[in-house]
Chain A
Amino acid sequence: MNDIKTLVIMQLKDKLDLGFIKDKAQMIRKIIFFILRFLIVAAIAYALFFVSSFLRIFHNSPFIPTSIMTMILTIILVISTFACTTDLIKSLYMAEDNQVLVTYPISANRIFMSKIIVFYFYEIYKNFTFTLPIFVAYGLISPVNWFFYIWVFLSFFLVSMIPVVIGVVISLPGFFVGKFFSRYRILRIMFFIAVLSGFIYLLVCLILLIPSEINVLNYWGPIKVLLSDVTMFFQTYFKPVYYIILMVIGKYDVSMKYTYLNLDVWLVLICLIGILIALFMSAYFVARFLFIRMTSVSFEYEKRFKVKALLNRRLPAFASFILKELRLIFRSGQFTTNFITTYVSIPLFILLINQIFDSMDLYPNGQFAVQAFNILIIMLPLLASNSVVATMYSKEGRTAYMKRTKPVVIVFPLLAKLLPNIILSVASLIISLYIFNAYMHYVLINMVLLAFALIFIQVGHILFCALLDLMNPQNEQYATAGEQVNNPNETKATIFGFTVSFLIALITLGFLVEEQFMPNQSFNYAFLKILLIGFCFFGVALYMFIEKIKAYYYDRVS
């Protein structure tokens, strides 16, 4: 057992920061922080339950039905199972540490078990910090048995197993689907684009469903009916989750009190244990077989490249660097995450915000506040995501120094690295401003001025972030520790991004409010002044960028 324990602790360190175990003071701090976090989540959940009870949201009744917990647990379990499955596919069959782990004097079965136990512990940690406080809050507002406060903690050791076991089962077909897509890259890209487009289309449809007039007082009746129906839907169609709730909270009996003195509760417990064991055992024997095969003969699954003879085309120096960067981007999945969370989500978020504000009848000052808020919401994620730029040169690790050996102007490789981010962020910005103006109805020239102003600020900030990385490179850190680096440049870039976003939003608000008292109210001067600020910001950033390149690449070398 000790060998599994060692393996689990070793792998758990990658998922959770366990450095506090050795330090007593840090451990106490961690425990206090954990309890505080538990209490805060429980307090928020209790407040929400209390408000829904006070407002009689569910079935016009002050009593919170069990169906609400069925709904919450269903959503949590679905998300956890999805996360577990994708992580398990990577960790069980595709992890690079497998090749190292199999060299240890321990059987592959135990390595396999240790990996699953790591996921189980992580699931327990997640549940104890989020799901469990919600259940405790529900217990406080509902007529639960005193035994609930003991049982809920115990039962969650079992509930935490559900996403892990289902994940192990689904990881098998998931692995083969993943393998299929990695073999046919075109299909993978098409599938990704189709899913992303479908998702965006669905979101846009949902956002446009927001009524043109939001008046909660008028719509309160239908909203309450809808919420009650949604919870009932979960109770009716997600029966297995309802049975788990029954096992955790107890049976809501005819005297409207939760009790554990009911056969159903214990029957569910026994069935759940049985199903989990059966599922795990069946998955274990198949997945373990695949795991052992993958760790021992992994080269069989590695991509077989068809070597094609390509004519060596001579490209201009800058174009070659751009081509290299594009190839690197398409090989890495990280850029895709940043691309979706930032560049795709900003226009969608702007659409949502404006659809909500459009349904409000606002005074002119309120309209200006909304416009300034739009600028803030566009710039904040854009500039915050530029923190990635502050790590780009350092992430090249020790290969970064090869740039110095290339017989080209150093600005070429440095700028080529920034170009994909600049192009995509500018595209996202223009689409966001187009949506913004669909609601605000400014004349085209004003929008062009504003677009250029924001583009200058965005590009200026990207240059500033790159500058941070140039001045304080973390190449050695990335070369030795991989991605797990606490990069100070990232933090500085984020803080600076926040500051610039808030400042530009406030300045925009000030200029717009000031302009409304002007005789023609065309707002040209307001947007022109914003453009001037943006241009100055860009100019300063560009000047500093070029000067620092000279200092760090040319002066130092010579």
Chain B
Amino acid sequence: MKKSVIMIISTLALVAIIVIGLLFQRAEVYNVTIYVEQVVCTKIRIGDEYYDTFYNERSRRYLIENPEEPGEEAPLIFMYMLTIDVIYELHPIDATTQSVTFSVDANNSFATIEENTGRIVFYKPGIVTFTITADDNSNQSAKLKIRTKSVDA
């Protein structure tokens, strides 16, 4: 069988699944809202490197884990415009609203965070705590503390 025929049949199948699914599927009424019960900060990403985080019961904050000493905080080496992506999960995983808002104390002069994307930029070395808040009025949030230090320090 020619490749073009296989392509046509595959495309046809995909289109049919979508069209039949859209036109003939019985509508389901979603009247139950599943609220977020927990916001978990799982990792941070710098460039292509991923760093695990852990929850510190005492400070009630997520901290960056030292890979050589699990359970211990690892400071990040400061560079001007050090950019970090926050990676999080919402529990339960089928929560109705999946979006969150990122925030940081506006008066801090060390770092900023993009409200929608969670991208952090450090301008000075220091300790900053960021908050991830679920958008579904569940009042669930998580705090992530990041410590950066310059190489000389």
Q: A residues near B, CB below 8 A?
A: 59-63, 65-67, 215, 217-222, 225, 232, 235, 242, 251-256, 338, 341-342, 349, 353, 356-357, 360-363, 365-367, 369-370, 373, 376-377, 380-381, 384-385, 387, 494
Contacts and interface: CB of A to CB of B under 8 A. Distances in A.
Given A63-B117, A366-B20, A256 B94 contact: no
Given A341-B6, A494-B5, A252 B85 contact: no
B1 A377 contact: no
25 contacts: A59-B85, A60-B87, A60-B89, A66-B48, A217-B30, A221-B95, A235-B48, A251-B48, A254-B83, A255-B79, A256-B83, A256-B85, A342-B1, A349-B13, A353-B17, A361-B26, A362-B20, A362-B24, A365-B24, A380-B9, A381-B1, A381-B5, A381-B9, A384-B9, A387-B2
A225 B89 contact: yes
Contacts of A349: 9, 13
Nearest to A380: B9
B88 A60 contact: yes
Given A253-B47, A341-B1, A362-B26, A357 B93 contact: no
A73 to B, nearest CB: 14
Nearest to B122: A254
A125 to B, nearest CB: 16
A252 to B, nearest CB: 4
B105 to A, nearest CB: 22
Interface string B1-24: 110011001001100110011011
A256 B20 contact: no
A349 B16 CA distance: 14
B128 to A, nearest CB: 16
Given A221-B93, A342-B1, A373-B16, A65 B48 contact: yes
Contacts of A235: 48
Contact of A63 (B26, B46, B93, B119): B119
B117 A254 contact: no
B94 A61 contact: no
A546 to B, nearest CB: 28
B82 interface: yes
A272 to B, nearest CB: 18
B98 interface: yes
B81 A361 contact: no
A494 B48 CA distance: 49
Q: Which 5 A-B pairs have the closest CB atoms?
A: A366-B24, A221-B93, A256-B83, A252-B47, A255-B81
Given A338-B1, A360-B20, 11 more contacts: A60-B100, A63-B117, A65-B45, A220-B94, A232-B50, A252-B47, A254-B79, A366-B23, A377-B12, A377-B13, A381-B5
A338 B6 CA distance: 12
Secondary structure class of chain B's binding surface, majority of residues: mixed
Given A252-B47, A353-B13, A494-B5, A362 B85 contact: no
Given A62-B117, A252-B47, A366-B23, A357 B17 contact: yes
Nearest to B114: A62
Interface residues of B, number: 42
B59 interface: no
B25 interface: yes
Nearest to A353: B13
B20 A370 contact: yes
A218 B94 contact: yes
Contacts of A242: 48
Nearest to A59: B87
Given A362-B25, A373-B16, A219 B94 contact: yes
Nearest to B88: A60
Nearest to B83: A256
B89 A384 contact: no
Interface in B65-84: 79, 81-83
B64 interface: no
A552 B64 CA distance: 84
Contact of B28 (A215, A255, A353, A377): A215
Contacts of B93: 221-222, 225
Contacts of B30: 217
A135 B118 CA distance: 26
A377 B11 CA distance: 11
Nearest to A370: B20
B47 to A, nearest CB: 4
A87 to B, nearest CB: 16
A251 B47 contact: yes
B90 interface: yes
A254 B95 contact: no
A217 B116 CA distance: 21
B17 A356 contact: yes
A173 to B, nearest CB: 29
Interface string B43-59: 10111101000000000
Given A253-B47, A255-B82, A357-B20, A61 B117 contact: yes
A376 B19 CA distance: 15
Contacts of B48: 65-67, 235, 242, 251-252
Contacts of A232: 50
Contacts of B17: 353, 356-357
A369 B17 CA distance: 10
A174 to B, nearest CB: 24
Contacts of A338: 1
Interface in B22-43: 23-26, 28, 30, 43
